[in-house]
Structure 1
Amino acid sequence: MLYAFELSGEHEELPAAEVLACLKIEELDFKPFIRVDQCLVVDIAGREEEIERTLTCTITERLAMTHHILKVVGIAENSPEAILELAEAFEPEGYIKEGESFVVRAKRIKHHVDFPCEYLEQKIGGCIYRKGFRANLKNADVEFRLILSEKAVLGTLISSVDRSAYEARTPQNKPFFHPGVLMPRVARALTNLSGIKPGELFLDPFCGTAGILVEAGLVGAKVVGIDAQEKLVLGAYMNLEAYELDYFLMEGDACRIPLKDYTIDAVVTDPPYGRSAAILASSLEELYSGALSEIQRVLKPGGIAVVVSDKASVEYGEKAGLKVLEIYVQRVHRSLTRIITIFQKDED
């Protein structure tokens, strides 16, 4: 069965990568089907009820860079004629039940089409009406959603991500605020990319005010945070307490992590880069080298480490024995570009 993820436009690659990571975390049997601008379609095998229960509950609650999840009716070329042909041909069974009402919504992605959405909403609605179903624009039982990107993807809405929850957790809204931290949606996406599962141990050795730890804790991880500044550790304590999470904090040096070898399931961290910060190392190069060596040591075999920097941390990670899986570039503003590197520790 095909499912479409209507992605946010925050980054060209991260939203799709986050979806695939979450599907892997939930151990679904899937493979990517097609990816177009701000839409990823995946083919998921298994019992439909179980798949949709996982998508609408666990995965919807985890995702940060997705707007909606659809059960795909069909994919067509991006022309009114092809889209209406698809709408005329589809069989309602499995998408809308007898007696249910419907509404049609179309979403145009950037400038991939130049025809009006309202026209297609009306025409697709007419096709569904002629199949014996009634429209209800205000309180429909089923929403048919059309994504107009390089291809046209038609499906029924099965869930929507509550992105307002992330806005409620912006740094300024937490008990302790310190500038220069990741926004919650980015922190959650990176947490998901680490593959962390509920009950597993998650480390941020440069935890600051616990923005990343909060997002990991909210998906059920047991979180461990370290920071060199006592003030930030106290702030992290205040923020983690506010969400009643399972955590352990310490003031310390990321180059000398007081944890045993092979104890941590996943790491996500945003070390100091190009900004004033109290560090115990004599230089940022020494800090990165020492911290990545320690991250490699405490990670379990096969564990993922996601490291954010303003320059490639690849050389330090590789010298420490970590394998580079992916590198993503995120331009924050004119003077700041983040390099997000996904490392993995060898299974052996």
Structure 2
Amino acid sequence: MYVLELGGQDDAFARREAASAASAVDVLAPGLATARGISDRVRHLAFAHRACALLGTSDPNIESAATLLSAATIDREGSVAVRAVDVRASTGVDTQQAERTLGGVLTDRGFAVDLDNPDHVLYAYFSDPAGDEEGGTGKRCCALGWLAAESVRDFGDRQPTDRPFFQPGSMDPLEARALVNIAGAGPDATILDPMCGTGGLLLEAGLVGADVVGGDAQKKMVSGTHENLTYALDGSGHPDRDAYPEPGEWEVFRSDASALPVADDAVDAAVFDAPYGRQSRIEGELAPLVAGALGEANRVARRCVLVADRDWRDAGTSAGWTVTDYFRRRVHRSLVRHVHVLE
């Protein structure tokens, strides 16, 4: 069993993304989830920072955590370090004192402490729903776990404005990564974005190893996406080739999202950010456009992740999809993204 340290303020969304890289993901406490197993894809999650092999849980205070650690079976050798986290400042625990106390328990059990280059790192997560201002659910607890995997945190260094082709309103890489992960992006998967815009979703899917296919009705968007994918996947804009799998193959074409030049069942998933009515010059045609894109996505893919500025669940159902998850994600005061996961 593993404990996952979630990021952001929407635990349900973070757990849904984590399920693309871990099995049997479930609620533990605010900012924390459990998983039965994890895969290498944990390293490329957007809203999970770490996965730790769960040692056990206790009440969220230092004394209880120390008692748990003293009684736990530890089948490890070498040096150790302890990292304590007061998740969302929900418990008020003194994390430095927690690290000293738990480090002392490990020292008493014969382990050498090495804060700079330890062989093993023990995380102590203290969390309490009563103190979580984000309204997280679960139980109040301290979860102890040995670090098993950390996600690559390079999103702040990769802004849409850094790409060769940029348009206002481009989705940030953190959100885009989460969406393509939910869609199932990874090696041996093919991901389609039928409204690719500047290519941000395709870029993130390609970085984690998926083959990507993109279409857009506007010639400048097709050309711009081609520039961005060349730069980020094949060129000097790749963030770190040692930290990622080999980028997938990619193709971009000009097309109507409701009449794609793609064979039936040719891709594993479609993911797209539909035009926003307040920004689009095709407000009157938006409903048929989205309905057509959903219908085509159902023809070519087994899963679809639709992002929009409104609720399109009825349109998804009418296009033959089953809505398995739905999230409202606030971007700023005037924009809420509606995320639809369709199977």
TM range (shorter): 0.7 to 0.9
Tell me the SS of whatever aligns to 2:341: strand
- Residue 31 of structure 2 contacts residue 88 of structure 2 at CA under 8 Å; is this kept in 1? no
Deviations 1:280-305 (A, max 9, x none): x9511111111111111222xxx110
Equivalent position amino acid for 2:46 in 1: A
Q: How many Å apart are 1:275 and its aligned residue?
A: 4.3
Aligned pairs for 1:71-220 (under 5 A) are 71-93=53-75, 96-97=76-77, 100-149=78-127, 150-164=140-154, 166-220=155-209
Alignment partners' CA distance in 1, 2:67 and 2:226: 58
SS of the residue 2:36 aligns to: strand
Amino-acid identity (%): 33
Structure 2: distance between partners of 1:33 and 1:295 = 29
SS in 1 for 2:103: helix
Q: Read off the aligned partner of 1:9 and give its amino acid letter.
A: G
Question: 1:278: how far off?
Answer: 5.9
8 Å Cα contact 1:228-1:278 kept in structure 2: no
2:44–2:152 Cα contact (<8 Å) kept: no
* Matched-pair contact (CA < 8 Å) for 1:107–1:145: yes
- Distance, in Å, in 2 between the alignment partners of 1:157 and 1:254 is 44
Aligned residue pair count? 317
- Secondary structure in 2 matching 1:110: helix
Query: In structure 2, do the counterparts of structure 1 residues 231 and 33 end up closer, same or farther at CA, with 3 Å as the change threshold?
Result: closer
Alpha-carbon distance, 1:255 to partner = 1.7
Displaced runs of 4+ in structure 1, greater than 4 A?
none
Relative to structure 1, the CA distance from residue 310 to residue 34 in structure 2 (aligned partners, 3 Å threshold; closer, same or farther) is: closer
Any conservation in 1 of the 2:79–2:113 contact (CA below 8 Å)? yes
Q: Is the 8 A contact 1:6 1:39 kept in 2?
A: yes
Question: Which residue of structure 1 aligns with residue 242 of structure 2?
Answer: none
1:318 alignment partner AA:
T
Deviation, structure 1 residue 115: 2.8
- Alignment-derived partner of residue 137 in structure 2: none
Deviations 1:1-39 (A, max 9, x none): x1111111242322111111222xxxxxx4345421111
In structure 2, the partner of 1:289 is 291
The alignment's TM-score, normalised by the length of structure 2, stands at 0.87
Aligned partners of 1:33 and 1:10: how far apart in 2? Answer: 16
Are the counterparts in 1 of residues 17 and 47 from structure 2 also a CA contact under 8 Å?
yes
CA contact (8 A) 2:48 2:151 kept: yes
Q: Which residue of 2 aligns with 1:26?
A: none
Aligned mates of 1:320, 1:191 — CA distance in 2: 21
2:222 maps to which of 193, 215, 233 = 233
Q: Summarize deviations over 1:149-207 as a string: whole Å, max 9, x none.
A: 1311111112211212x223320121211111211111111111112442332110110
C-alpha separation in 2, matches of 1:200 and 1:170: 25
Question: Corresponding residue for 2:329?
Answer: 330
Alpha-carbon distance between aligned partners in 2 of 1:125 and 1:199, rounded to the nearest angstrom: 43
Give the AA of the match of 2:20. Answer: A
Residue pair 2:212, 2:249 contacting (<8 A) in 1 also:
yes
Retained in 2: the 8 A contact 1:22–1:195? no
Name the SS of the counterpart of 1:134 in structure 2: coil
Deviation at 1:274, TM superposition (A): 2.9
| Partner secondary structure for residue 4 of structure 2 | strand
Aligned equivalents of 1:116, 1:316: Cα separation in 2:
50
Q: Give distance in 2, aligned partners of 1:262 and 1:157.
A: 39
Could you tell me which runs of 5 or more consecutive residues in structure 1 were left unpaired when the two chains were aligned. 24-29, 45-50
Given that 1:113 and 1:148 are in contact with CA atoms closer than 8 Å, whether structure 2 keeps it comes out as: yes
Quick one: distance in 2 between partners of 1:231 and 1:9?
34
Q: Which runs of 5+ in 2 are unaligned?
A: 128-139, 235-247
In the superposition, relative to structure 1, how do residues 134 and 168 fare at CA in structure 2: closer, same or farther (>3 Å)? same
Instruction: Identify the match of residue 36 of structure 2 among 36, 40, 43.
Output: 43
Aligned: 1:70 with 2:52: yes
State the AA in 2 paired with 1:16: R
| Partner SS, residue 164 of structure 2 | coil
2:276 counterpart residue number: 273
